[in-house]
Amino acid sequence: MLRVTRHGSSVVVLTIDRPQRRNAVDVDTLEALRTAMTTLDPADDRVMVLRGEPPAFCAGADLTGVTNEEFHGHLSGVLTAIVDAPVPTLAAIDGAALGAGTQLVAACDLRVATPSAVFGIPASRLGLAVDQWTVNRVVDEFGMGLARAMLIAAERIDGTRAHHAGVVHRLATDGDALGTALRWADEIAELAPLSMAAHRAMLTESAGRSSSGVDTAVLRDAVWASHDAEEGRQAFLDKRAPRFTGR
């Protein structure tokens, strides 16, 4: 089950709500996630926050009633939808984010976690292997050192270690991952949408993972020529907060 709510006027909160299964994701939940991602509208939505109903973020995959291939087809669609989302994505992690949970976390742009959050990919403990996309993304977001520890030795990384490594961008107190994430989301929602979209595309290009064919130089020129760029300059001169509209 997925619960979709709003925080304020411009932050969408997606909550994986299967606490009885420690939020392990099944096909129905993945399909709901994919649908929610594809219906985000940058005209109204500025940030998406992904979380799990306590006591976990997402403890992995629930393969009940489906083949491994079917499940991973749905999971791949969700991960791609998160990466390609039209707005910045922020994961709020408290508790376990294992297997598919770590994949969801890695797909997001930004991460808030508590010290007791736990990341890991237990495939080596189960005689399984993840796909190349996951390896690439975990290397990009966690760094080669932690990626090797998680993928080869099935090591688990807690929130504090992940924060020290730069994987987690803001460390929350235990029980306040969502509150910290929402406060940050409110800050991000005030920034220029076109600037953030261009920088997200450039970061993907920098990692060598872009297949969209987007010309980032054209994106940059469009940002500089936008109404928001004019508003930003005028607000600076007026010594006031800018009011960005995404135009």
Give tens-digit pLDDT for 200-241.
Answer: 999 998 887 765 678 889 999 999 999 999 999 999 999 999
Cα-based distances in Å from 156 to 123, 151, 170: 12, 10, 19
| 112 and 198 housed in the same domain | no
Q: Tell me, yes or no, whether 85 and 205 share the same domain.
A: no
Instruction: Say what the pLDDT of residue 211 is.
Output: 58
Give the up-direction half-sphere exposure of residue 161: CA atoms within 13 A in the CB hemisphere.
15
Tell which residue, 67, 61, 56, 77, has the closest CA to residue 126. Answer: 61
Q: 50 with 88: CB under 8 angstroms?
A: no
**Residue 202 shares a structural domain with residue 176:** no
Rounded CA separation 156/239 (Å): 47
Residues 155, 185 within the same domain: yes
184 falls within a domain: yes
Are 185 and 197 members of one domain?
no
Per-residue pLDDT reduced to its tens digit, 145-195: 999 999 999 999 999 999 999 999 999 999 999 999 999 999 999 999 999
The pLDDT tens digits for 25-80 are 999 999 999 999 999 999 999 999 999 999 999 999 998 888 888 999 999 999 99
Between CA 191 and CA 243 the distance in angstroms is: 9
Residue 245 lies in a domain: no
* Cβ atoms of residues 107 and 76 within 8 Å: no
pLDDT of residue 210: 61
213 and 175 belong to one structural domain: no
| Dihedral sign from CA coordinates of 102, 62, 28, 66 | positive
Q: Domain count for the chain, please give it.
A: 2
Shared domain for 197 and 118, answered yes or no, is: no
Please tell me whether residues 163 and 46 are part of one structural domain.
Answer: yes
* DSSP annotation of 95: S
pLDDT in tens, 87-144: 999 999 999 999 999 999 999 999 999 999 999 999 999 999 999 999 999 999 999 9
Is the residue at 247 inside a domain? no
Q: Which domain holds residue 112?
A: 2-189
Residue 164 lies in a domain: yes
- On whether both 71 and 111 belong to a single domain, the answer is yes
What's the Cα-to-Cα distance from 240 to each of 84, 232, 236, 237, 243, rounded to whole Å?
A: 33, 10, 6, 8, 9
